[in-house]
Structure 1
């Protein structure tokens, strides 16, 4: 018997198991961190709907709200590190593939790469906020969106690039919403570990929360397309202005209330994913 081969195989399996444990921990921490952000943004949007706050209903506003809580600095660091875990998990999916059908396919790896880049940015912004002792140097999401749009329009074919990016965001929002309504997340959940009542509650948060999240994405994309068509960067809107727009519809603040409640539910759904998602 070739003992060296057996030893090498055992070590390989041990390393793979260790890597899997680290990846799983990072993924669950990241999903929980995402849930905290959506809970806070949704809660701020609800306050805006009822005229109870002047805070920004975006990531910056959520971080400012969190920093005012007891042990706020510790919570900010925990949130930032959780998002670092989310980024590392997406990186592992890009490198080694993800669970489910076609998890090692090129499309899934590309999507994981995009998500990795996104969560690197989000984690960096949260950790920068924590390091700067609660002073947000990047401005609101609305100002960041206008500045980024203006810079993009200054480059050759910038207007077309902004329009294409806006259309991509609209499509992404629709994709998020449709997948939520069709409960595509079932493929990634350990349904066998959940009771019937728990599955029903997860479906409520997953469907309503995912639909609201997709709607917000799609609306932000519409504003980006409008900014490109009119060649006016100021028409681009960040998360806060996009949410406030819902209150300006004929339905008044009640549409914003529904969307804000949906974002809160998506935060709860993220916690459920942190508990039962297959990684």
Structure 2
């Protein structure tokens, strides 16, 4: 096992030596914070970027529920609408950089066990979820930077078309319909998992604030996770049906899943409440950016 990580140890040692040499030669580098502090800053910026994405999705969904705008949108659509605002390129660059910062924190959590979860079965499942989250936000960050060159595209339509294209590629594989069905069940599992976490989790445990403040903040987190779970359920159903029927046309995107909620009886109310919950999820991400206990590992060794 030691031989497997030897290149990582060697690279880390060379980078550390290079950093020390630079600090010795250039006074300005001596003002650069230690790596642990930089990683903590990156994580906090990342939580802030995630909060911005979900607050934006929630606000647009709430406006859709109140018939103040068109359809609800997902994360890609929110980025597209941001691109249309004054200083859109600047906002996109900042958002993309923040999301990549969050990806780096997810790598530390999943690969280097920054949260000290350990290697039990439950811990490994949690870290696998953090890895999947990192992949999702990495794809979102890449999409955000794509908007720097493509202002005029229809984000919602492109999002659905891209998902259907991916589904068609999956269906073309041997037993592809079962694979797509599995993806749908995973999305459903993510939705149910978020709802369960919203109901049962102790959100104050990961926050560095007084018990009184944590108690006031926990309801925001609960509402946010339950709402995000509810929003994922229609998407999971659509993808599962696509696999069951072997039809990529059934696949949709997150924004379309929110619209599906609105099409149900009392849908405007359901979408409005879900939108408020998504805003709460984004607000709690801002809380995590400020109060979360972030402990970058001293030894960057996978484990």
Question: What is the TM-score of this pair, normalised by structure 2?
Answer: 0.79
Give the aligned partner of residue 30 of structure 1. Answer: 46
- Deviation track 1:128-180 (CA, whole Å, cap 9, x = no partner) reads 112x1534487533222222212211111110000011111111111111112
Alpha-carbon spacing, 1:108–1:246, altered in 2? closer, same or farther (3 Å): closer
1:154 to 172, 175, 189: 172
Quick check: 1:120 aligned with 2:138?
Answer: yes
2:102 to 86, 94, 114: 86
Give the aligned partner of residue 5 of structure 1. Answer: none
Secondary structure (helix, strand or coil) at the match of 1:99 reads coil
- Deviation track 1:168-211 (CA, whole Å, cap 9, x = no partner) reads 11111111111121133333211xx2462x33442121001110
Distance 1:209 1:106 in 2: 24
Alpha-carbon spacing, 1:110–1:53, altered in 2? closer, same or farther (3 Å): same
Secondary structure (helix, strand or coil) at the match of 1:162 reads helix
Distance 2:100 2:194 in 1: 23
Give the aligned partner of residue 4 of structure 1. Answer: none
2:90 to 74, 90, 98: 74
Alpha-carbon spacing, 1:136–1:28, altered in 2? closer, same or farther (3 Å): farther
RMSD across aligned positions (CA): 2.5
| Deviation of 1:69 (Å) | 3.0
Tell which deviates more after alignment, 144-153 or 62-71: 62-71
| Deviation of 1:18 (Å) | 2.4
| Deviation of 1:55 (Å) | 5.3
Secondary structure (helix, strand or coil) at the match of 1:237 reads coil
Quick check: 1:261 aligned with 2:279?
Answer: no
Quick check: 1:42 aligned with 2:58?
Answer: yes
Give the aligned partner of residue 254 of structure 2. Answer: 239
Give the aligned partner of residue 61 of structure 1. Answer: 77
Distance 2:184 2:117 in 1: 30
Give the aligned partner of residue 218 of structure 1. Answer: 233
Tell which deviates more after alignment, 22-31 or 52-61: 52-61
Unaligned runs of at least 5 residues, structure 1: 1-7
Give the total of aligned pairs.
Answer: 264
Question: What is the TM-score of this pair, normalised by structure 1?
Answer: 0.85
Quick check: 1:143 aligned with 2:161?
Answer: yes
- Deviation track 1:226-250 (CA, whole Å, cap 9, x = no partner) reads 1111222221221111001111111
Distance 1:235 1:185 in 2: 36
1:209 to 194, 211, 224: 224
Give the aligned partner of residue 8 of structure 2. Answer: none
* Residue pair 2:204, 2:214 contacting (<8 A) in 1 also: no
Give the aligned partner of residue 166 of structure 1. Answer: 184
* Residue pair 2:223, 2:281 contacting (<8 A) in 1 also: yes
